[in-house]
Structure 1
Amino acid sequence: MPAPTLHTPRLTLRAHVMADFEALCDLFESDRAAYMGGPIPRKQAWRWLASEVGMWDLLGHGAWGIEAKDGTFLGQIGLLKPPHFPEVELGWTLLDHAEGKGYATEAALAVLNWAAEQGYATLVSYIDPANARSIALAERLGATHDPDAALPTGETPEETVVYRHRLDADGNPEAYA
């Protein structure tokens, strides 16, 4: 199943293209990837990104590239469940030039709406407790801290907190704002 294309007023969420990988590998190799276990060597980042794209065929969900209406690549958002995740995660990352403009919120609302339409009742976001910006975004989306949720294999509460997104059956994005 290829990634469906989703549209918001300012963004297009679309299947990844090769140029996305270069920009994301550059990000993952930098200190900005600290909250994702990085910096991550290019070879490992390539495998990670390729698996997120491959999830579409294997699981029916995966990663989207986030693109501004002018075609500028901004980052990635996805519904992800590698083998060490106990639940499907709503995860995001933006390139430096895209932060602080509301793009992550706009993209996440589109994905939450799509997920509700697909029948998902709940998603989680696994977040480093020191990542205040991601915690703030999860809370803006209506997610709540779920201290009883299972953590990814090998992770501890000191490394990861779980925020739970509960989706309305009608997929109404106002429910998340």
Structure 2
Amino acid sequence: MSAEKNKEEKNKDLVARMYDGLNTGVFGIMDEFWTEDMVWDGPAGIGTLRGIEEFEKVLRVPFKKAFSSKECIDDIRIAEGDYVAAYGFEYATHTGDWLGIPASGKTIKLRYMDFWQVKGDKLHLNWVLFDILGFLEQVGYDINKVLAFIGSKPPEFFDSVEMETD
């Protein structure tokens, strides 16, 4: 096996081990997989998170509260050089609020795509796409009505909406 191919297999294995860590729901173990100055660049509604502490506080803790029995499974995982990409689903039950959407109690299949940059032997950058509209549809929202409502209002309308916060 060539050195480059071996490196790519090691990078895919790093992602697999990180997913195993995420799937346990245990906090405080991500430094095994991520550089200290890691960046998680996610979709609108979550945004860019810098460092493991912010990653756990802003993404992992709320996600764990919102989704019980969560399991992340890649259907596709490929690597080239210092990059790994994956496509798959989070399988979970929506048992808590997420992104302002009240718990539905429904089992969901949240589609995602991830692209990582590996630095040394750890993950450094992660560009993430979640299918948030697909999630809304699974928990009972009519996406066409949601989009028509949003599109019928100017952006300033949403500045005036009272939002409940924790």
TM-score calculated relative to the size of structure 2: 0.34
State the structure with more CA Rg: 2
